[in-house]
Structure 1
Amino acid sequence: MVADHAEMASFLWELREMAVRSHHYTLADLAELEERVEAHLDGLRIAGEPGWELTLAALSTKDPGAFFAAAVAAVEARDYPGFAAVLDATEEADEPAAGVAGALAWASPADAFAIVAPMLSGAQPPALRRLALAACVAHRRDPGQLLGYAICDGDAAVRALAFRAAGALGRADLAGELRGAWGSDDEAERFWSAWAGALLGARGADEALWSVAGRSGAFAEEAADCAARVSPPGEARRRIEALMRSPGLGRVCLVAAGALGDPALLPWVLDRLTVAPLARLAGEALSRITGAPIEGALRGAPAPGFDAGPSDDPRDASVKMDPDTQLPWPHGANARALWAAHRGRFASGVRHVEGRPLDEGALDRVLRVGGQRRRAGAAFERAARAPGRPLFDVAARVERQRAALGASP
């Protein structure tokens, strides 16, 4: 039974990590999932020493969820030798370290920083400095002048995380330190410095984000989403229309169109509903702007023969997962009919979100009841409208999010 608790705590936390970045999980859905995670963690707490031994044994799998469960136990007990044992087992690999970072985010701020405090020093190895910064971001705890030092760290991954921390914490005093990284050869450093610059009101950050979006790299879609939100609407529309003429940037353009919310772009979006690799993302953009969910008459059948995910063929070198697997397939003809019937309600050039003109109230509503991807966009835009305001954390534990929102959605 204790082994089942360890296995399920690991699995459910990994599921939550996917859920916080998904299209369809809402805050209420996250709450239910977190209750399940906490129930299995309780089972391990009650088990005592046998529970701890089982979580340590599970580290051999190198699953990030196993490291989450073990690190939660060590952090909550403020067991420094136990936490060191978990760190030793990570071998500084990214996925196990992500589980440890997740445990620091899950724990109370007091417990997390009792463990993290010694790591907030340049004398620590890069892996520990990254964990310390991740904890600061997760709990919105400003590390003070150490963040300025981290931006100049010799480790590129530490610098990228420091840029993210500066943006998330609203450290407007560091806005001038970001520009030097906009031309970095490191993709993560380039994106996070531009992302932070946009949040902190740094002039030229929108241009840096459009540059990342146009390169079609790992951060291109997120950069396009952010750039569309912080650029003047007319300029954003022109940028998106320019990117439409570049091959291979269809996804980037659809993400940007949904974030901008200008109905003038919907004819192009509707044309993508019948392009199998783009159809579901086009449906998401349509839904973001108009507020019409892709369900009922708007839901269609999957494109015949389309398979975006890895196959079972061992000779197939592609292992990339389908990025839109959670999105429904739209019905192109019915979507066009719906738009033809209601287009008079939507003025071109006016930004919309969920069928309403975009303003602070509309963003707040998305934060309360929207899916996680939409909530992340609303949180970014709300913070960017007031440089220096900490970024609302849509990945935080639900009880903390609800406290920050002031009411339970």
Structure 2
Amino acid sequence: MTVNAPILNLRVLRLHCENAAFLAAQWPLAQDSPAHRMVDLYDLEDRLSAHLEALALAGPVGLDLALEGLVTADAGANRGELHVAAALALRLRAGAELAQLLPDPALTMAAAEPLGLAAAMLPPALIAPRLHRWLDTADPVAVAAGLVACRQLRADPGAALAPLITHPDPQVAAHAANLAGELGRVDLLPHLQRRIASEVGIAAARAAALLGDRGAAPAALAERLTPACPADQARQAAELLPLILPRSEARALIAALSRDPRMRRWSIVACAALGDVELLNGLITLMSDPVQARIAGAAFCQITGARMGAENLELTQFPEEPEDGPADPVERFIDSHLYWPDPDRIRDWLAPRATRMASGERLLLGLAAWTHPAPPDLPNDAAHRSQLDLRAWALEIACRSPEAPLPNHRAPVRLAPRGFARP
């Protein structure tokens, strides 16, 4: 039987490129979003895969259009286009090395994350041999992309991981440290502890803390949680420290952070992680500050389990977006997807429930933190929780069991017999 070649409509293919790039740029943001649940991630991933499949069916023409979309002057600003071009090149140029997949100007360290995420979406049989080559190459971008893919998939590189923790490129070493901590590789704890004083100290300290270090690692995280700390690392430190410090030290850290306006956001994140009901009134007070209101509302909900929208706890009229909000694009994305809390409604909600919340008991989503199961009861528990809630839950579970991998709240979502699930 003769099968005619498909007629390619360049206008439609360009629309596929644009839509795929938009979704690919949203995907990593949605993985830590306060508004996205597993069903939303499933929808986003499914739509992205459909656009990529349409472009792959167009063969070299689809790849050429994707490569045209690259704006190589700033890899960080066009991560969606990089993801699309990388995903197609990996599928259509199966035997090519990384340098042959994308134009040289695009192959900067900023491209490592979209490259790794694109690789992680491909079938294991297609990507596994390539990841082995990437991790064994002298090209730091390829090594970093391989580590990002392994981190997304919770894939253990085995003996190849230890030497990468001391890689001469600090970004590669940081990726390796993060992967070691999230895999539960306690055998690599000494390697990480030796890197705490280095330029990758925050990544090494976080990983060591996840693996059970309750001495040098917490001290290093607290010391480096300063206004100079990048926002992603500051959030990681602020949400982890209250779980690994004694309660009195965590309270002191929160108080110190709150005194510096530049660090107040991280003091609120730390409040949420500590789960101390004695801090709830302070959070309600912060809800009157337009800059901190939404993150304070999110912290209140993380502690108490309140549902801002479902229980009608938000303002009737939203204020204008504050001009001095967070500068970091990820933090701006988080704020833009949070509710504006109404302090009076929040107080009324809390009043009849406050006596049931034991002082001194650390709460997570309205329950004693230690009672949360691992894994959660799907779909009745985790499936309706936001990705930001699941991130907090994952850290809680990991800090209980340092030898176990950090539960992967970023794993691809699959449709299972009982609802949505992750592998």
* TM value normalised by structure 1: 0.88
- Asked if structure 2 preserves the Cα contact closer than 8 Å seen for 1:272 and 1:279, the reply is yes
Deviates more, 1:88-97 or 1:350-359: 88-97
Paired AA for residue 135 in structure 1:
A
Distance 2:65 2:122 in 1: 20
Shift of 1:269: 1.2
Q: Is the 8 A contact 2:303 2:363 kept in 1?
A: yes
Name whichever of 250-259 and 321-330 sits farther off. 321-330
Instruction: Name the structure 1 match of 2:114.
Output: 99
1:357-389 per-residue CA deviation (whole Å, 9 max, x = no partner) reads 212535626644321112112112212211121
Deviation of 1:340 after TM superposition, in Å, equals 2.2
> Could you tell me which residue of structure 1 aligns to residue 354 of structure 2?
343
Q: 1:283-341: CA deviations, max 9, x gaps?
A: 1111111111223541113346733469xxxxxxx896735121111111221222222
Counterpart of 1:220 in structure 2: which amino acid? A
Quick check: 2:288–2:343 contact (8 Å CA) kept in 1? yes
Q: What secondary structure does 1:391 align onto?
A: coil
Segment of structure 1 superposing worse, 385-394 or 90-99: 90-99
Which residue number corresponds to residue 187 of structure 2?
A: 173
Q: Equivalents in 2 of 1:90, 1:397: separation in Å?
A: 30
The answer as to whether partners of 2:184 and 2:403 remain within 8 angstroms in 1 is yes
| Change over 3 Å in CA distance of 1:319–1:373 after alignment to 2 | closer
1:199-229: CA deviation from partner (whole Å, max 9, x where unpaired): 1112322222222334562222221101112
Bigger mean CA offset, 195-204 vs 358-367: 358-367
The equivalent of 1:132 in structure 2 is 146
SS of the counterpart of 1:141? coil
Moved more, 28-37 or 39-48: 39-48
Conserved? CA contact 2:298–2:338, under 8 Å: yes
| Paired residue secondary structure (2:293) | helix
Contact residue 216 and residue 249 of structure 1 kept, 8 A? no
- Aligned residue among 401, 405, 411 for 1:396: 411
Contact 2:69 2:81 in 1 (8 A): yes
Q: 1:165 to 1:80 in 2, by over 3 A?
A: same
* 1:283 equivalent in structure 2: 297
Query: What corresponds to 1:85 in structure 2?
Result: 100
**Which position in structure 1 is the counterpart of 2:55?**
44
Indicate the residue corresponding to 1:226 in structure 2. 240
Shift of 1:60: 4.4
Measured in 2, the distance between the counterparts of 1:153 and 1:98 equals 17
Q: CA deviation at 1:112?
A: 1.6
Q: Supply the AA of the counterpart residue of 1:350.
A: E
Of residues 51, 56, 66, the one that matches 1:55 is 66
Q: Which residue of 2 aligns with 1:383?
A: 398
Q: C-alpha distance in 1, partners of 2:386/2:244?
A: 21
Q: Pick one of 130, 144, 149 that aligns with 2:158.
A: 144
1:22–1:371 CA contact under 8 A, matched in 2: yes
Q: Share of identical aligned residues, percent? A: 32
The separation in 1 between residues aligned to 2:71 and 2:257, in whole angstroms, is: 46
Q: 1-side partners of 2:313 and 2:214: how far apart?
A: 41
Question: Does 1:239 pair with 2:245?
Answer: no
Question: Is 2:177 the partner of 1:163?
Answer: yes
Determine if contact 2:66/2:85 at 8 Å carries over to the other structure: yes
Amino acid at match of 1:13: A
Q: Check conservation: 2:38, 2:413, Cα contact below 8 A.
A: yes
Residue 72 of structure 1 corresponds to which residue in structure 2?
A: 87
Amino acid at match of 1:275: D
Residues of 2 paired with 1:306 and 1:69: CA distance? 34
CA contact (8 A) 1:263 1:348 kept: yes
Identify which of 21, 24, 29 aligns with 1:10: 21
> Hey, what does 1:294 align to over in structure 2?
308
Alpha-carbon distance in 2 for matches of 1:406, 1:230? 34
Classify 1:97/1:257 alpha carbon distance in 2 versus 1 (closer, same or farther; 3 Å): same
After TM superposition, the structure 1 = structure 2 runs for residues 255-270 of structure 1, keeping only pairs within 5 Å, are: 255-270=269-284
Corresponding residue SS for 2:69: helix
Shift of 1:37: 0.8
Gaps of 5+ in 2: 1-11
Q: 1:281 to 1:256 in 2, by over 3 A?
A: same
Structure 2 SS opposite 1:277: coil
Q: Distance in 2 between matches of 1:160 and 1:83?
A: 21
Q: Root-mean-square deviation (CA), in Å?
A: 2.6
Query: 8 Å contact 2:369–2:396 — kept in the other structure?
Result: no
Residues 288 and 355 in structure 1, CA contact (< 8 A), matched pair in contact too: yes
| Of 18, 42, 46, the match for 1:31 | 42
Whether the 8 Å contact between 1:105 and 1:135 is mirrored in structure 2 is: yes
Between Structure 1 and Structure 2, how many residues are aligned?
395
- Match status 1:212 vs 2:228: no
1:313-328 equivalence runs, <5 A? 322=332, 324-328=335-339
1:250 to 254, 260, 264: 264
Contact kept, 8 Å, 2:38 with 2:386, in 1: the verdict is: yes
Residue 45 of structure 1 and its aligned partner are, at CA, apart by 2.2
2 CA distance for matches of 1:308 and 1:129? 37
Cα 1:407–1:380, aligned 2, differ >3 Å: closer, same or farther? farther
Q: Do 1:126 and 1:158's aligned partners in 2 also have CA atoms closer than 8 Å?
A: yes
Verify the 8 A CA contact 2:93 2:101 in the aligned structure 1.
Answer: no
Query: How big is the shift at 1:176?
Result: 1.4
CA distance in 1, matches of 2:419, 2:93: 32
**Aligned letter for 2:130?**
I
Within the alignment, does 1:201 sit opposite 2:216 as a pair?
Answer: no
Counterpart-to-counterpart distance in 2, 1:334 and 1:293: 12
